[in-house]
Amino acid sequence: MRQALRASLSPPRPRPLPHGCGNPADCPRLRSALRPGRAASRTANPRPAEPAGPAEAAPPARLEWARGSGPPRQPFPGPEACAGAVPSSQAGRSRRFRRGGMEERRYRSASGAPIALRTRQHSASCRELAVRCPRLQLRSLSAVTSAVWLAAYGLFVLSQNSMVLSAAIFITLIGLIIYLHFVKIDQESLLVIGSLGIQVTASYASGKESTTFIEMGRVKDVVINEAIHMQKVIYYLCILLQDPGDPQGVSEVVPLFQSSKPRLDCLIEVYRSCQEILQQRKTAPQSNGIK
């Protein structure tokens, strides 16, 4: 039994070579085959290759793969090769997408939140520009609700009054309705019509929409202004209304995109679109007068 265990646990002995050498290291045939001079003589006198004719094509190169590995992986195409990709010069500023007849670009707000600028051109003198704000996050809503209910539970433990918990639930529901209906804005849009005017629309999270229309005869210009907000300088787009008594004066300044607060690169795109339509309106009366 012990001999059987020793035989099973002992390493296997090397098999003798067919020409009688017991140890492969002492075999003269293997030594002569592994000599560097002999290998060098083989590589020094290669077999002469037959010259290929002018019409014959070179044979395809053979791919050598290691055992156990698959074919070589092709490199993944970069963003330049994808359809609709943004050039590398604009990759750091914005990202452009096309959905149907609407063009969408991604920007950042003054606070760093991601926003989207959607542009749709209905005609040469009618263009719609919409800035979509980030939606309400469930994490922030749950954090505020939990804080209110924990405070209410602490008051309930101290006062032993069950009305505190009921009041906390009532206040949470009323506050959420007010926030979604009057405070949280999902989208701010600007519809510029050269022959009519400018329509400003704010869409709230509850579905409510607030619309303001400004006649084109009252619009003096659309400019980018700067202001100081929370110890930093921010830019905003505004409409200058013409004073009826003074053609060169400004009666009122209407700020735009006050909820989303886009950065300067996004405001420049909106400014250019508005100026194109305003310039068409200014040049139209002159061309009619020439005719």
Q: Give the helix ranges, DSSP H, for the chain.
A: 2-9, 28-33, 36-44, 138-159, 163-178, 264-290
Dihedral of the alpha carbons of 177, 183, 186, 192, in degrees to the nearest 10: 130
Instruction: Label the pairing between strands 102-108 and 95-99.
Output: antiparallel
Q: What is the DSSP string of 48-115?
A: PPPPPPSSPPPPPPPPP--TT--SPPPPPP-TTTSTTPPPTTTTTT-EEEEETTEEEEEEEBTTS-EE
Q: How high is the mean pLDDT in each 10-residue block of the chain (291 residues)?
A: 59 55 58 52 49 48 44 44 40 53 88 93 92 87 89 89 89 92 94 94 93 93 89 92 88 93 94 92 63 47
Q: Give the helix ranges, DSSP H, for 127-263.
A: 138-159, 163-178
Give the model's pLDDT for residue 281. Answer: 81
Q: What is the DSSP string of 98-119?
A: EETTEEEEEEEBTTS-EEEEEE
Please state the length of the chain. 291
Q: Where are the domains of the chain?
A: 95-134+188-290, 138-182
User: pTM to 2 decimals?
Assistant: 0.61
Q: Give 232's strand partners.
A: 229
Burial of residue 43 (CB within 10 Å: 0-12, 13-18, 19+) is: exposed
Dihedral of the alpha carbons of 173, 174, 176, 178, in degrees to the nearest 10: 160
Give the model's pLDDT for residue 136. Answer: 83
Helix (H, G, I), strand (E, B) or coil at 282: helix
Q: Which amino acid type is present at position 5?
A: L
| Distance of alpha carbon 156 from alpha carbon 142, whole angstroms | 21
| Distance of alpha carbon 212 from alpha carbon 198, whole angstroms | 8
Q: Give 120's strand partners.
A: 128
What phi and psi, each to the nearest 5 degrees, are found at residue 27? Answer: -75, 120
26 phi-psi bin (left φ>0, alpha ψ -120 to 50, beta other) = alpha
